[in-house]
Amino acid sequence: MRAFCVLFGWKSRALGSCQIGFLPVFCELRIGAWISEFHLMKIALLFAAILVSVVQTFAQQEPISAEKSAKAKRDSFNRSLPLPIRIPGEFGKLSAVLLSANELVHFHPELFATLVGHISERAPVIAIVAGPEQILNGREALEEAGVDRDRVHFLVHQLDSMWIRDFGPIFIRRSDGSGSIVDTYYSARDELGSRPLDDQFPLVLANALGIQCSYVPISLEGGNLVHNGNGLGVSSLKLIERNRFRNFSGDEFTGLMNTYFTLKTLTFVPSIPGEQTGHADMFITFVNPKTAVIAQALPEETEEVRSHIERASQLVGEQLVEGRPVQVHRIPLPPRKDGMWRSYTNVFYVNGLMLVPSYSDVDPALENQVMETYRELLPKWEILPIPADDLIQTGGFLHCLTLGIPHFIDPSGLLEFSE
């Protein structure tokens, strides 16, 4: 038997069940049939000692309280519940926006204030921070930028990173109109090692929102699933690479994605060679169910980069939506500088406002071409460039930092815990 004891729950890493509890620890217990009762007693004593130590460590923190929220159930696909029908498009209506602000308020305070200032005009902003010090840092950043401090709700909860798009949940709408969460396995891509707090966040969020949380046994980062809100998903081939050790057949993998993510079609495309995340959102976004915007490498880029992106564009353009091919529009991808990319598809949609990364070292004429393309495709939307120079070295941009809660999920459970 294998079980994970996590914040607010016992988490099983197999398709099966999950029993919700209230132990604020993260540990792993492996029990095999070969263990004798004596070994069990020793493990039990060791577990108790670890538990006491960890509880003392967490005693000074004030994480989201599961006792104040409806209990979420996290298990495999449950056919007794209303069937999942679709992943809502990111361009759809939102009830709130989540920011993982633990690093933002320290290292990118101006960007934090800019995001809060603009997003809060369209939807409530919930900034997740580690404790009171970061709340003060965030409020100071807002005051210096002239943004009303009351335009953000601070939620105290420990996380490992600020990439909430990658470790956050994927929201699903069910046939009765309700919402639920799908959670996948999340691990770091870099030298920082595992990120257990990030990986557990979807379950914590489900508890606070009082909705179902289902676990699917694949490794998936949210930035590598771009979808049109109508059954079409696009991922880079990195998704297959990251799940190779699980030994899924092609049919098994497709079946999991169809069952949990309600995708009629999942299209795999090449990633940008040399781009560190390997994510599809670095060069693709859907502005509506029938229209995709895809980056286009400039002539001075390498043949390998150009061919990979052109193949991705071709594959997306071959997919059918309501019997017709996806409309593909192209925007320029600036050449690499210092080995880093500057993406114009790593955007964020919030209730009629599109936030687009802007870079001071890119030709203004090229950037204007990007903005005009978005304005033509979204004539009723406000298209707003957001300075993103500080993020270039991190490898992530606006889409990576943000996560919208769709309109059919009530965020009041989270707002109750915030200040």
Q: Which domains does the chain have, with CATH numbers?
A: 2-62 (no CATH), 86-415 (3.75.10.10)
Closest among 404, 371, 411 to 170, alpha carbons compared: 404
- How would residue 15 be classed by pLDDT, with cut points 50, 70 and 90? very low
More confident residue, 31 or 366: 366
Contact 215, 12 (CB under 8 A): yes
- How would residue 29 be classed by pLDDT, with cut points 50, 70 and 90? very low
pLDDT in tens, 268-303: 999 999 999 999 999 999 999 999 999 999 999 999
Residue 40 has pLDDT above 60, yes or no: no
More confident residue, 219 or 29: 219
Could you tell me the end-to-end alpha-carbon distance of the chain, in angstroms, rounded to an integer? 40
Which DSSP string do the residues of 332-345 spell out, in sequence order?
Answer: EEPPPBTTB---SS
Matching residue, tokens 């029938």: 290
Residue 392 has pLDDT above 70, yes or no: yes
Residue 307 has pLDDT above 90, yes or no: yes
Q: How confident is the model at residue 192, as a pLDDT?
A: 52
State phi, psi for 226 to the nearest 5 degrees. Answer: -100, 130
Among 45-59, 179-193, 253-267, the range scoring the smallest mean pLDDT is 45-59
- How would residue 247 be classed by pLDDT, with cut points 50, 70 and 90? confident
Matching residue, tokens 């996806």: 326
More confident residue, 405 or 29: 405
Contact 280, 239 (CB under 8 A): no
Closest among 224, 262, 237 to 88, alpha carbons compared: 262
Contact 406, 171 (CB under 8 A): yes
Residue 66 has pLDDT above 80, yes or no: no
CA 242 to chain centroid, in Å, comes to 17
Mean pLDDT, the chain, as a whole number? 82
Q: Which two tokens stand for residue 415?
A: 């707002």
Q: How confident is the model at residue 13, as a pLDDT?
A: 34
Whole-angstrom Cα distance, residue 350 to residue 413?
20
Q: How confident is the model at residue 169, as a pLDDT?
A: 94
Q: How confident is the model at residue 9, as a pLDDT?
A: 34
